[in-house]
Amino acid sequence: MSKFKYISLIILTTFLMGIAFPVGKIGMSYAPPFFLMGIRFILAGGLLAIIVAKKPHPRSWKQGLQAAVVGLLQSAGVMGCAYYSMRWITSGESSIITCTNPLIVIVLGTLLTGAAYRRRQWLGVAVGFIGVVFTFGLHMNIQPGTFISFAGAVCFASATLLIKRWGPAFDLSVLASYQMFVGGVALLIISAFTEHPYFIFTGTSVTVLLLLVIMCSIVQFTVWFNLLRSGDPAKTSAFLFLVPLFGVFTSWLLLGETVEWYVGVGGAFICAGIFLVNWEGKGTKAENMKNQLA
């Protein structure tokens, strides 16, 4: 994959992740969060399954189980923890914690897979996280929701590493459809026990649901899974620091929320962090060429 295509797809998928926050907030005026997300992923998984019906599907119970695990982590785990945490903390704080995923990917990758990351990459992740904190104005408090949201970030990181490991055995569009459907079922079950499910049908609510289903689910997950398979999961995950930045600006556009000066400062830190994680110096390039020739 060319660098131009890679960067273009990264910007597309992180933008869709970011805009899902204000769009989802609008949708929560018409349905409770778990129920809304459950419907979103059930419809997205079902529609994508129809689109990819002729592509190779899991051929064994093992592959089916792997797809289910990814769905429980990627869709139900991340979204379930993020929205449940908002009973105690703000959506901005939840986004900050969820976007610590790149740091957790590097930690888990080092501990579980033996991956080796340079100090520059660790520094880049830290700088990017500082940028995310600046973006939301340094307003963070330790609450029960803090730990719940962090559990969602761990789910996100775990799913990232599993997709990198199991992804080559799947058609990734098929994997995206299976994992969204399983995640949607799990979220509907959670909704049945914790909410009073309802959906108010209006032109706005249907438009919001379609945007969440088509763009923020089908397109986003398909592109994201392909990016994870084609590159280093730590480097790709570093771009997740763009998500809250896009979330802030789209919240300003769609909801009229105020954008403060510290958003610009946070954006600069975010860009610097992404550069540090992904930049390959002369020594790194030489080492890569040596490994390719070996």
| The two structure tokens encoding residue 229 | 């398979």
Q: How far apart are CA 196 and CA 35, in angstroms?
A: 9
- Asked if residue 148 is part of any domain, the answer here is yes
Task: Give pLDDT tens digits for 1-56.
Answer: 778 888 889 999 989 988 887 888 888 889 988 999 999 999 999 999 998 888 88
**pLDDT confidence tier of residue 292, bands split at 50, 70 and 90:** very low
Which range of residues forms the domain containing residue 85? 3-118+141-232
- List, in order, residues 6 or more apart from 225 with CB less than 8 Å away: 163, 167, 172, 175, 176
Within-domain flag for 242: no
Inside any domain, residue 129: no
Q: What is the pLDDT of residues 211-253, one digit of tens each?
A: 999 999 999 988 888 887 777 766 777 777 687 778 777 877 8
Q: Is 115 exposed, middle or buried (0-12, 13-18, 19+ CB in 10 A)?
A: middle
Per mean pLDDT, which of 33-47, 115-129, 257-271 is the most reliable?
Answer: 33-47
How far is Cα 33 from Cα 271, in angstroms, rounded to an integer? Answer: 31
CA distances from 11 to 15, 20, 79, 233, 262 (A): 6, 14, 21, 16, 22
Domain count, the chain: 1
Residue 16 lies in a domain: yes
Work out the average pLDDT over 182-194: 93
Distance CA 80, CA 190 (A): 8
Q: What is the pLDDT of residue 286?
A: 44
Residue 99 falls inside a structural domain: yes
Query: Which amino acid belongs to residue 148?
Result: I
Distances (CA, A) of 157 to 98, 135, 166, 229, 248: 9, 22, 14, 14, 23
With respect to residue 273, please indicate whether it lies within any of the assigned structural domains.
no
Res 288: pLDDT: 45
